[in-house]
Amino acid sequence: MQLAALSVFTVAALIPQALSWGAVGHEVVATVAQMHLHPSVLPKLCAILEDDVSDYGGSCHLATVATWADQARREAKYRWTGPLHYIGATDDYPSNLCAFPGSGGWEGRTHINVLSGIRNVTTVLQDYQGDATVAYVDGYVKDALKFLIHFLGDMHQPLHLTGRDRGGNGDKVSFDGRVTNLHSLWDSLLIAQRLRTLPMNYTRPLPLPDVEDNLRDTIYDPYIRRLVWEGILGKYEDELSSWLTCPAPERLRVLPLPKWQRVLLWLFGSKSQDGGLNVDDEFLCPYHWAQPVHSLNCDIVWPAELDQPPYNRISYTDVDRSDHFSEETFFVDLDDPESSARRKNSYLELDTPQYAGRIRDEWIVEKLLAQGGLRLAAVLNWLFADFTDGSSGHLVIREL
């Protein structure tokens, strides 16, 4: 059975489902990151994570823990971590208005969100790495690393940066004639469509050991090969350094203000700098990185037609705006071909040249995955690498 002959929903049935970016999206981000780690870093990460990152063959792969945070939030111990997977602004209402955060500020508790989560778990790992007396790994350090791997992926899924209708979970649409919701479309189905339309030459290994040594013989290996060959080493090659750049923090500059006002600015942040979250500095800047990702919600992700007749007349009375997560899955019964058959429905069709075609042609999903992977690698290198070339203190990635 050739992959090219499968439907999008059948491919989606063959790959694991999760709640954010889908399992494949998160594992692609983690795999791309692993390819770009400094040689001294992966052994340290594997020592922290131990058996959690081993495949059946005994190899260490970050991808194996990339979706742990989604699975853990169902457990009582970690239920409080749910809001750490997303962020939303009160005034944000794509596609009409993209506010990040706008005058209304953020929804929920200011420091319980995906951007603050990235900063917080990074700080935990900094403290661990900086303590030379540590002889064992506490469970919370292992959790912090798994959360970091996951949250950097979440941050690059645009619908995790808006609170409207639970990040699109409450907005049903049609894709290839089948009913889904906007969030699930971006989590899994757009990637599934790529998997079934890949050029056959990417089923063969690339002449790049640093790529091939970090693949796991998965259904999406060809997708990663294409992402690396045509994206990271191709169309994005001249952009890579800018993806890792953080603006100079204005709050650290000498301001014509009394000392006590400068202290307050440092303690409580500046909305003009990082949305009042106080998460960005000159090395790690999740708010700065997230801004262009969020803007995609108004540019392409959220179709304006959903707010126009007849689609704006469809009621979603069961939508809980406080919860981003959807338990809806799209497994197809492979023994019953009719289960994946197209059926006429009244929802907005998004498998069109104007929507899915533009996303495909502009490599929007692929760029987001590449950015997530390279930024994750850069942060892990910054935290754990044993640099001998003066790179310490900067975000850098290993060249392939």
Q: Is 288 a catalytic residue?
A: no
Report how far residue 52's alpha carbon sits from residue 142's, in angstroms, rounded to the nearest whole number.
Answer: 10
Q: What HEC string does 250-268 produce? A: HHHCCCCCCHHHHHHHHHH
177 sits in the region (left: phi over 0; alpha: psi -120 to 50; else beta) called left
Sign of CA dihedral 46, 48, 53, 56: positive
Rounded to whole angstroms, the Cα distance separating 231 from 368 reads: 11
Q: Which of 36, 38, 61, 85 is catalytic?
A: 85
At 400, list the tokens.
């392939």
Among residues 38, 61, 150, 156, which one is catalytic? 150
Tokens of 312: 């704006």
Paired with 8 in beta bridges are none
Has 183 been annotated as catalytic? yes
Q: Identify whether 150 is a catalytic site residue.
A: yes
Q: Match 């930024």 to its residue by tokens.
A: 375
Query: What is the C-alpha separation between 357 and 359, in angstroms, rounded?
Result: 5
CA–CA separation, 387 and 379 (whole Å): 14
From 21, 68, 186, 289, active-site residue: 21
Active-site pick, 68, 106, 119, 154: 154
Options 73, 119, 178, 194, the catalytic residue: 73
Name the nearest CA neighbour of 47 among 145, 119, 131: 145
Q: Is 294 a catalytic residue?
A: no
Which of the following is catalytic: 156, 164, 183, 226?
Answer: 183
| Helical (H) or strand (E) element with 180 | strand 178-181
Query: Annotated catalytic residue: which of 38, 119, 160, 194?
Result: 160
Q: Annotate 133-165 with three-state secondary structure.
A: CCCCCCHHHHHHHHHHHHHHHHCCCHHHHCCHH
Active site residue 26: yes
Hey, what amino acid is at 288? H
Round to the nearest angstrom and report the end-to-end CA distance of the chain.
33
Measured CA to CA, the distance from residue 131 to residue 260 in angstroms comes to 32
- Among residues 38, 70, 165, 171, the one annotated as catalytic is 70
DSSP, collapsed to helix, strand or coil, labels residue 347 as coil
Nearest to 279 by CA among 101, 98, 103: 101
Cα–Cα dist 33/375, whole Å: 8
38 is catalytic: no
Q: Which of 165, 171, 187, 221 is catalytic?
A: 187
Q: Which residues are catalytic?
A: 21, 26, 70, 73, 85, 150, 154, 160, 183, 187
